[in-house]
Amino acid sequence: MAGIRPSALFVLMLAAGMSAPLLAHEGHDQVTVEKSAVALPGSRYAWVTSPATTAAEQDERVSTPQFREKMQAALDAELKAKGYQLVGASEADVLIAYRAGVRDVQQPVVHDYGSADTRQASLECTSDGCSQLVTRNGNGEPVLKVKSSDEIQAGLMVEVIDRTSLRVVWRAMDEGTAKANRASRVSLDRVAREILVELPRAPATP
């Protein structure tokens, strides 16, 4: 399977509508088709197992056999609805692989309180604004202030590969961010539907 951007391995910690927690979501998410196609080489497909190679992929929220089975089942159902048929690798027209990852991150929080030059900002609040970095402690001394937001980043990538040439013919990435304290479960069925929405329908069988 072709390489994946490290920053792209994040979005929707998928929990299953069939019930296997995958990620929670109440925030930004986006599906990007990185390689589009008008049609695929055929309607028969087989899965290629993708080993977990990064810490995000090895996170237990997306690395358990139970999660992987439910994620693949959700993708299978969506592929079937588009006319594709799951077969053995030797019979397949295309191979399909996916990678999922999730991680917890802290992002600095910045609020715009108004304009302030460097000299004013070093002492927190003035009539022109407040420092993003400095506040006063109980003794009135300037000290560094740290504000951050806990977030969950997760992602799912799906690739369709021509079995004969091993050339990638279609690829999509679903990535996003959710506030850790506002995350809500999302069904894997929905995730599969959204990431495969632009996959062309299977070509008609002669």
User: Going by DSSP bridges, is the β-strand pair 148-162/168-179 parallel, antiparallel, or unpaired?
Assistant: antiparallel
Give pLDDT, residue 17: 29
Give the least confident one: 21-30, 89-98, 134-143, 161-170.
21-30
If pLDDT is split at 50, 70 and 90, which confidence band does 54 have? confident
Q: What is the pTM of this model?
A: 0.68
User: Which pLDDT tens digit goes with each residue over 2-34?
Assistant: 443 433 333 333 333 223 334 444 445 688 999
